[in-house]
Structure 1
Amino acid sequence: MQLDLSPLWISLKTSLLATFITFFLGIAAAYWMLEYRGKGKSLIEGLFIAPLILPPTVVGFLLLLFFGKNGPVGKLMEPLNFSIVFTWYGAAIAATVVAFPLMYKTALGAFEQIDGNLLRVAKTLGAKDITIFWRISLPLALPGIVAATTLAFARALGEFGATLMLAGNIPGQTQTIPMAIYFAVEAGAMNEAWFWAIAIMVISLSGIIAVNLWQEFRESSRGSRGEGGAGEQRSRERITQLGLRTYNSSATGLFVDIEKRLPSFHLQVFFNTNEQPLGLLGGSGAGKSMILRCIAGIETPTRGRIVLNGRVLFDSEKGINLPSRDRRVGFLVQNYALFPHLTVAQNIAFGLPKGLSAGAIRVQVEQQLIAMQLQGLGSRFPYQLSGGQQQRVALARALASQPEALLLDEPFSALDTHLRSQLEQQMTATLAEYQGVTLFVTHNMEEAYRICSNLLVLEHGKTVHHSSKYDIFEHPANVSVAQLTGCKNFSRAVPKSSEQVEAVDWGCSLQVIEPIKSEVSHVGIRAHQITFTGDSSCENTFPCWVVRTSETPHRMTLFLKLHSPAHNLQDYHLQAEVFKEKWATIKDQSFPWYVRLDPLRLMLMD
């Protein structure tokens, strides 16, 4: 007796159609749910994955109620003399419904694995949502989507219960392979059952194995290309000053007056700045990065106003909130957020104004490559570059969009000390040529001092000092600002006269030059400004003993106890820093030594 192969063709066309439908529906649903923040998200999620949880016969029963003669769809089709129940279309619908959850959940997982910074940076480069989806999200999620498609196909191919309920088992019309196996076993035709079981396993496993091999090939190909460029990339790590082209913009600068309320954080800042780089200095959680994200349009302030060169980017009272793509703001994040599936040239071109011809794009990309000392690297992928090269690509991409403001979020945090120093010099040269507004976020006090002319010091989301770097370092507004700028020595202070304060914690009275205000509560001096003298008659000079020392490659930190020897290693008043050459000349002198706290160097703080 000749074997009827119709179950094979019915299964293939049913599962292929179901996979085709779930491919588009699953990706659309996953991408929508990724951004959806409305009410009922849990309910929608439950409906999407219900066919994965419910028994197939229950799913089939519900489909039968929906598409049957008395169901809503059945009644709509009755005038057309068309029925879905017990037809091939019913089998395809049943396969689609049970395969959809696998496609949806796997695609959602693939989208969730994409670094959110990539999407945020793409928005600041002027890309529309549809562009970001086609050029960034979909390519990066492709391996997961291919796996999801394979799983959906295998699930549709093996569907039995729901198909039996909705489409029945009509040989040559709706009998798929799973039903052929079931009824062959019932009839005692074990050879036929074995044939169909092996056939469905071969088809399903072939797809899964093919996807695994493809993914392994991608990884090995990526690894080999990365190794090939390692030696050359080191030879190209020569850093020189950059002659970047500048962009014309009005000189009105940036005005920020915003408030952002979160359950565990309250940001409330007001400042304005012009073409001089402004450093945002503060500890972790101070609100530095949140300010940049609000300016870039990635986060929305609770209330306030942001104006850039006369253009209102955000105004809560007037209901203005420009999308990131329209703000003309360049954003350089900590991990650079280079698009991993695009080459260096394609990354830079992504930030170029839209509508340029292919020739103009090539010219401008090449100009940026030359300016950034990246010649010959245009065809490389980000993973084939060193950290310094990646940073320069990210900076070139940000500048290529001709931004009116450049936001730099700890751009050196991922680099080693040597490379950080080189790229810091490069950044200084770049910002000297750039004529827009620059905000530079860092928690490194020395880094902020070298790169920025002005500083905004933040603490717990509030501005505690905004001034030139010289004023902030010489006259910090309070103890918190002094600590953030590296001061280690503080004492409670009580005014005794117009020129004298009592340093309570140091046990001494100090002459000061700075006018004493009524709200003065502390006096401080920086460790490197403490001097040692042999003349004990000078003002503010006190006997001291070294309690312990701490060594760095070039300096010694001396922990000093004033007036008397220490009782233990924690019994000290001051920390003094001296170069090792100075330490070599004084370390063998007998105690007490004499330390002088120069009145010109003493800082009075609230």
Structure 2
Amino acid sequence: MTLDFSPIWISLKTAALATTIAFFLGAIAARTMFKYRGKVKGLIDGILTAPLVLPPTVVGFFLLLLLGKYGPIGKFLRLFDITVIFTWYAAVIAATVVAFPLMYKTALGAFQQIDTNLLASARTLGATEWQVFRRILLPLARPGLISGVLLAFARALGEFGATLMLAGSIPGKTQTVPIAIFFAAESGDMTEAMLWVSVMLVLSLSIVVGVNYWNDHRPHQRRAKQSKQGHLTLIDETLLPWDNPVAPLTWDSTRTNVLPSPIELIVDIQKKLPGFTLDVSFSSNQLPLGLLGGSGAGKSFILRCIAGLETPDEGCIILNGRVLFDSRRGINVPIRDRRVGFLFQNYALFPHLTVAQNIAFGLPKTLSPRAIRQRVEKQLLAVQLHGLGDRYPQELSGGQQQRVALARALASEPDILLLDEPFSALDTYLRDQLKKLLRLSLTHFPGATLFVSHNLEEAYRICPNLLILDEGEIIAQGPKQDIFDAPQYFRVAQLTGCKNFSRAVIQSENTITALDWGCTLRVNEPIPDGLAHVGIRAHHLIFTGLKEQQTRSPENIFPAWLTTISETQHRMTLYLKLNSSPSSPFDYHLQVEVFKDTWNRLQYLPQPWQIQLYPSRLLLLQNKNSSLSFEYHPSHLSTITKDD
């Protein structure tokens, strides 16, 4: 008897069509569930993946109930004289239903592995949701999607139970290879059954080998292509001409969206967050504003609200007279239309795009290819990466990647630049060089700038004005020197680097007692009614025994004994106890920072040293948002803060 090979063709075309449908439906469902944060997410996910855990015959039974003669869908189709069951289309439907969960779960897992900052970055660069999905999410999820397609095809190719119940076993019409194997074995024809099993093995192994070969060789082909173009050799960061004058990032003089004058950002927002409520109100002009605070204070969240990546519960955000958000008027401008440049902490460069493609991502589509190339080259020159446009981000050093991210953020000529701890992932040398580049670039940037950091030195170097945040509340704002010289609250002094604190009580109009230092201090400034602490910065203490630090004023001079020391490259930190010698390495009152040449002279002076807490250097602090706690020791009271 001649063997009928139609099951092979039926299986292949059924699996191919079912996989195609499952791919589109699975990718869309995965994208929807990736974004969805509703309470019934678990229930929906369970329904979508049910065919994966249910026996195929159960799935086939439910499909039969729906599509059969008396099922709701079947009755509807009969109105148009359409019958689905026991047709090839029924085999496709059965294969699609059982293959869909594998495609959906694999695609969802691939989407969840993608850094969400990449998607946020694309949105801030003006991409629509469809463009984010097509240009970022799908390419980055490609390996997972390919695996999903492979699994879905294999599952559709091997489907038996649901297909048999819904489509039957009609030779030349619905009889697939798995069904042919079943009936051949049932009739005792083991030779024919083994033949069909061999066919299934060859098909499955061919698919797996082909996909693995493609995945393994595609990266090498891409790198080989780059090597031929002469763009593969990596450059050591130290060989770049950092010591030469850096050209500032420039803007096209023909830009049509000229910013109004004066530039002004107004933020007045509230948002309930885990642990505290963010409630801030401030404004900023063209001078860079530094947002300084501890981890979890709400700094980055403010930037994300301005960019539209997060939505406040209440309030408004206005940039140059344009309302970006207003809860009362129901205004919430989409991210892509806010014209913000966002520099993320982890750079958020698109790994599947070259450096040039990254920089060009947010440029207007109305520009000609030549204009785009010129603008990209101008940005590459400005950040000293000329000739590296064909590299991929993973082929660059951390400093180079950060410069690409800065060039990309500024290439689209945003109205505001948002910098979220841009130097935290860099070493000391690169951090210093990028600060220089950023400072110079910001002097030419015709827009507002917000710079988030928990590092006082970074914020102080780059921003003329500071805003200090603690647990979602602004506790100080103004010119940086004013905040540094005269912090009103303990927490402000702590966040701006002060290390020496003591509880304080008022003795008279111009004297206070520092309880934890065990001394009475004369002060020059008016004592606030709510005085809670006194502080002095570690580099403001004076050793009267040194000639260069001698003072004519006899006030607030006390004997001090050295408890222990620590050192950095250029400075020494001395831990001192006032009025009596220490009993242990932890028995100290004050930290003093001196240069090493000062230490070299100071260490040979007999102890106790005479140290002065100069009245004009004392910080008289109120107790708002204080995180200070105290532990009593037999010899003294030691101050402990949550940042130490």
Q: TM-score category by the smaller chain?
A: over 0.9
Q: Quote the Cα distance in structure 2 between the aligned partners of 1:444 and 1:153.
A: 53
Q: Is residue 234–residue 396 contact of structure 2 (8 Å, CA) maintained in 1?
A: no
Aligned with 1:244 (options 249, 256, 266): 249
Give, in whole Å, the separation in 2 of the partners of 1:486 and 1:510: 22
The residue type equivalent to 1:249 in the other structure is L
Q: Is 1:461 the counterpart of 2:466 in the alignment? A: no
SS at the partner of 2:235? helix
| Shift of residue 130, structure 1, vs aligned partner | 1.1
8 Å Cα contact 1:407-1:440 kept in structure 2: yes
Comparing 213-222 and 527-536, the one that deviates more: 213-222
Structure 1 alignment gaps of length 5 or more: none
Q: Does 1:564 align with 2:577?
A: no
1:146-225 matched pairs, under 5 angstroms:
146-220=146-220
Partner Cα distance (2:515, 2:238) in 1: 58
Structure 1, 212-221 or 280-289: larger mean CA deviation: 212-221
Q: Distance in 2 between matches of 1:579 and 1:263?
A: 43
Opposite residue 265 of structure 1, the aligned amino acid is F
Change over 3 Å in CA distance of 1:230–1:281 after alignment to 2: farther
Give the aligned partner of residue 415 of structure 1: 426
Q: What SS does the corresponding residue of 2:528 show, helix, strand or coil?
A: coil
Matched position secondary structure for 1:514: coil
Q: Which residue of 2 aligns with 1:232?
A: 235
d(CA) in 2 for partners of 1:81, 1:425: 75
Task: State how far apart, in whole Å, the 2-side matches of 1:563 and 1:448 are.
Answer: 37
C-alpha displacement at 1:81, in angstroms?
3.7
**Residues 554 and 223 (structure 1 numbering): CA distance in 2 closer, same or farther, change over 3 Å?**
farther
Q: Quote the offset at 1:58 in angstroms.
A: 0.7
Alignment of 1:393-542 (within 5 A): 393-534=404-545, 538-542=554-558
Q: CA deviation at 1:39?
A: 4.6
Q: Count matched residues.
A: 606
SS at match of 1:528: coil
1:354 equivalent to 2:365? Answer yes
Report the Cα distance in structure 1 between the residues aligned to 2:464 and 2:82, rounded to whole angstroms.
77
1:8, CA displacement in angstroms? 0.6
- How far 1:605 moved relative to its partner? 1.1
1:394-422 Cα distance to aligned partner (Å, 9 max, x none): 11111111111100000001111111111
Q: Displacement of 1:221 after TM fit?
A: 5.4
8 Å contact from structure 1 (residues 237, 388) kept in 2: no
TM-score (norm 2): 0.91
Q: Give 2:139's aligned residue.
A: 139
Per the alignment, residue 299 of structure 1 pairs with 310
Aligned partner of 1:311 among 287, 303, 322: 322
Q: Which residue of 1 aligns with 2:78?
A: 78
Distance 2:502 2:347 in 1: 42
2-structure distance, mates of 1:221, 1:510: 74
Distance, in Å, in 2 between the alignment partners of 1:265 and 1:210 is 54
Alignment of 1:571-582 (within 5 A): 571-582=587-598
The answer to which of 357-366 and 75-84 deviates more is 75-84
The answer to whether 1:44 aligns with 2:23 is no
2:61 alignment counterpart: 61
What is the CA–CA distance in structure 2 between the aligned matches of 1:326 and 1:75, rounded to whole Å? 48
2:292 alignment partner, one of 281, 284, 297: 281
Alignment of 1:316-355 (within 5 A): 316-355=327-366
- Say whether the 8 Å CA contact 2:248–2:437 is kept in structure 1: no
- Aligned residue for 2:640? none
Report the equivalent of 2:642: none
Unaligned runs of 5+ in 2: 623-644
From 235, 253, 261, the equivalent of 2:264 is 253
Q: CA deviation at 1:252?
A: 3.6
Q: CA deviation at 1:159?
A: 0.3
Q: 1:108 to 1:388 in 2, by over 3 A?
A: same
How far is the alpha carbon of 1:79 from its aligned partner?
4.2
Q: Once structures 1 and 2 are overlaid, which stretch shifts more, 79-88 or 589-598?
A: 79-88
Distance in 2 (alpha carbons) for counterparts of 1:230 and 1:264: 49
1:551 aligns with 2:567: yes
Change (3 A) 1:585 1:222: farther
Q: SS of the residue aligned with 1:208?
A: helix
RMSD: 1.8
Give 1:242 deviation, angstroms: 2.6
Q: Which moved more, 1:533-542 or 1:321-330?
A: 533-542
- 8 Å CA contact retained: 1:151, 1:208: no
Written as runs of structure 1 = structure 2, the 5 A alignment for 1:263-274 is: 263-274=274-285
Q: Percent identity?
A: 60
Displacement after TM superposition at 1:496 (Å): 2.3
With over 3 angstroms needed to count, the CA separation of the structure-2 counterparts of 1:230 and 1:509, relative to structure 1, is farther
In structure 2, the CA distance between the partners of 1:135 and 1:289, relative to structure 1 (3 Å rule), is: same
Report the CA distance between 1:588 and its aligned residue.
Answer: 2.2
Question: Are the equivalent residues in 2 in contact too, given 1:237–1:389 (CA < 8 A)?
Answer: no
Cα pair 2:263 2:447 within 8 Å, conserved:
no
- Matched residues in 1 for 2:428 and 2:219: separation? 31
1:467 to partner: Cα distance: 1.1
* Residues 193 and 450 (structure 1), Cα distance of their counterparts in 2 relative to 1, 3 Å cut: same
CA contact (8 A) 2:561 2:577 kept: yes
Equivalent residue, structure 1, for 2:641 = none
Give the deviation of 1:33 after TM superposition.
1.5
Q: CA offset at residue 354 of structure 1? A: 2.9
Does structure 2 conserve the Cα–Cα contact (< 8 Å) formed by 1:147 and 1:208? no
Q: Secondary structure at the match of 1:600?
A: helix
TM-fit CA distance, 1:295: 0.5
For the residue of structure 2 that corresponds to 1:435, the secondary structure is: coil
Partner in structure 2 of residue 389 of structure 1:
400
Aligned counterparts of 1:77 and 1:486: Cα–Cα separation in 2: 75
C-alpha offsets along residues 154-182 of structure 1, whole Å, 9 cap, x if unaligned?
A: 10000000000011111121111001111
- Please tell me whether the aligned partners of residues 233 and 385 of structure 1 are also in contact (alpha carbons under 8 angstroms): no
Contact 2:250 2:379 in 1 (8 A): no
Secondary structure of residue in 2 paired with 1:121: helix
CA gap of 1:304–1:114, structure 2 versus 1, over 3 A, is same
Q: CA deviation at 1:243?
A: 2.4
Of the structure 1 ranges 295-304 and 583-592, higher mean CA displacement relative to structure 2 is found in 583-592
